[in-house]
Amino acid sequence: MDPLTANESVDLQVSIGSLQLKNPVLTASGTFGYGREFDSLVTLNRLGGIIVKGISLEPRPGNPPPRIIETSCGMLNAIGLENVGVDRFIEEKLPFFQNIESPVIVNILGDSIEEYSQLAERLNTVHGVAALEVNISCPNVKKGGVAFGTVPEMAAAVTKAVRKAVTLPVIVKLSPNVTDVTVIARAVEDAGADAVSLINTLLGMAIDVRTSRPKLANVVGGLSGPAIKPVALRMVWQVAQVVSIPVIGIGGIGTTEDALEFLIAGATAVQVGTANFYQPTATEEIISGLGRYVRETGLESIRDVTNSLELD
C-alpha cells in the first residue's frame, strides 16, 4: 500500500451535525474562491469540505483598492465582501461542484435578519449545498451598523432565523472582536446552531509612515494568517469548554501540527484559510499528516484527538 492510500484508509471521519465529513479539513470562506480557482493545483475530492466565498442576496462590488496588505506573519484584508450574489452563485458557480465529491458549504452574509433568512431559504432548496455557514461579523444596518456577532441577542436572532429557514446543518462563524466569545457561542447554540466555527479575522490596521496614510483604503481590515493562531487557539479552547455542539477551529492553520493543536484544544474540524494563498496544497498536506498521526499514535480515529488537552 502506498503511503497516500495508507493514510486515506485511516479513520479521519467527523460529523458536524448531520453532515458527515471524510476528514476534518475544510477550506475557509474567502480563501478558496468558488473552488474552481484551485482545481488545477489541489485534488478537490480529497478535501473534507469546501466552504465557498461568502454570498449575499445581491451582488456586492467590494471595497476600493488597496484591499490587502502583508503584515508580519499575516495579512490584513478589507475585500468588502465582494461576491456575485446568490442568483449568479447558483447559476454560474455551483454547477462546477456536480462532479466533486467533497461537500460544499455556503457561507452567507447580510445586512439584516430578513436578508439572512431569505438567503437561507433560497439555498435550502438548491441541490448541491451540504450546509450553511453564517457569517455574523457583518454590520447590522438596521441597528446602526453594529456587527451581529458582537451582541449575543443579535447573534442569536440571526441564528434562529436561519435555523427556521433551512433543514441544512447550520454553522455559525464567530467574530473574535468581542469581550467574551463564550457568551456569543452559547447564545448561538441555544438559538439552534449545529456547530460554531471560529475565529473570523481580528480587526487591525497598518499605516504607511512615508505618507502617514493607512495602507488599506478601508483604513481598517481583518488580520489573518499564522500571526493570529495563538489567539484563535485560545478562543477555540474557551468555546469548546462551554458548548456541546461541534467547534470548527480557524485561524492561522497551515500545517498538520497547527491543525492538531486546534483538535487537541477541542475542535472537531478545522478550516485552512490564508495558507491556501501561500501554499495551495496546505489542505492536502494536513490531511495526509493527520492520517499519519492517527496511524503512528495508534489511535482508533481522529475523533480521539478532539478535546484531548492534558491539564494538571
Residue 281 found at the interface with another protein (CB under 8 A): yes
Q: Give whichever of 77 and 175 is closer to another protein, judged by the CB atom.
A: 77
* Cβ 272 vs Cβ 283: under 8 Å: yes
Rounded to an integer, what distance in angstroms lies between the CA atom of residue 114 and that of residue 168?
18
Q: Which of the ranges 33-41, 146-154, 181-189, 199-207 carries the binding residues for another protein, by CB under 8 A? A: 33-41
Smallest gap from Cβ 68 to another protein, in A, equals 3
**Residue 105 three-state SS:** strand
Rounded to an integer, what distance in angstroms lies between the CA atom of residue 258 and that of residue 106?
24
Rounded to an integer, what distance in angstroms lies between the CA atom of residue 204 and that of residue 220?
6
Rounded to an integer, what distance in angstroms lies between the CA atom of residue 237 and that of residue 182?
10
Smallest gap from Cβ 107 to another protein, in A, equals 13
The contact mask relative to another protein for 40-79 (x = CB under 8 A, - = no) is xx-----------x-------xx-xxxxxxx-xxxx-x-x
Phi/psi of residue 34, nearest 5 degrees = -110, 35
Q: Give whichever of 177 and 281 is closer to another protein, judged by the CB atom.
A: 281
Residues 76-105 that bind another protein (CB under 8 A): 77, 79, 82
DSSP class of residue 87? H
C-alpha cell at 140: 447590522
Do the bridges between strand 104-108 and strand 131-135 make them parallel or antiparallel, or are there none, so unpaired?
A: parallel
Q: Helices in the chain by DSSP H: which ranges?
A: 3-8, 85-88, 113-124, 152-165, 181-190, 229-242, 256-265, 275-278, 282-297
The contact mask relative to another protein for 204-243 (x = CB under 8 A, - = no) is ---------------------xx-----------------
* Selected binder of another protein within 278, 301, 308, 309 (CB under 8 A): 278
Smallest gap from Cβ 28 to another protein, in A, equals 11
Rounded to an integer, what distance in angstroms lies between the CA atom of residue 25 and that of residue 29?
13
Residue 309 found at the interface with another protein (CB under 8 A): no
Q: Give whichever of 69 and 235 is closer to another protein, judged by the CB atom.
A: 69
Q: Give whole-number Cα distances, 14 to 24, 26, 136, 166, in Å.
A: 6, 12, 24, 22
* Selected binder of another protein within 14, 26, 32, 173 (CB under 8 A): 32
Q: Give whichever of 56 and 117 is closer to another protein, judged by the CB atom.
A: 56
Q: Give whichever of 73 and 141 is closer to another protein, judged by the CB atom.
A: 73
Question: Cα–chain-centroid distance for residue 140?
Answer: 20
Smallest gap from Cβ 81 to another protein, in A, equals 10
Smallest gap from Cβ 98 to another protein, in A, equals 20
* Selected binder of another protein within 37, 58, 101, 190 (CB under 8 A): 37
Rounded to an integer, what distance in angstroms lies between the CA atom of residue 118 and that of residue 165?
8
Q: Give whichever of 168 and 228 is closer to another protein, judged by the CB atom.
A: 228
Smallest gap from Cβ 176 to another protein, in A, equals 19
Q: Which of 143, 136, 116 is nearest to 188 (CA)?
A: 136
Residue 33 found at the interface with another protein (CB under 8 A): yes
Q: Give whole-number Cα distances, 65 to 58, 75, 77, 218, 248, in Å.
A: 21, 15, 10, 8, 31
State the catalytic residues: 138
- Interacting residues toward another protein by CB under 8 A: 30-33, 37-38, 40-41, 53, 61-62, 64-70, 72-75, 77, 79, 82, 225-226, 254, 274, 276-281
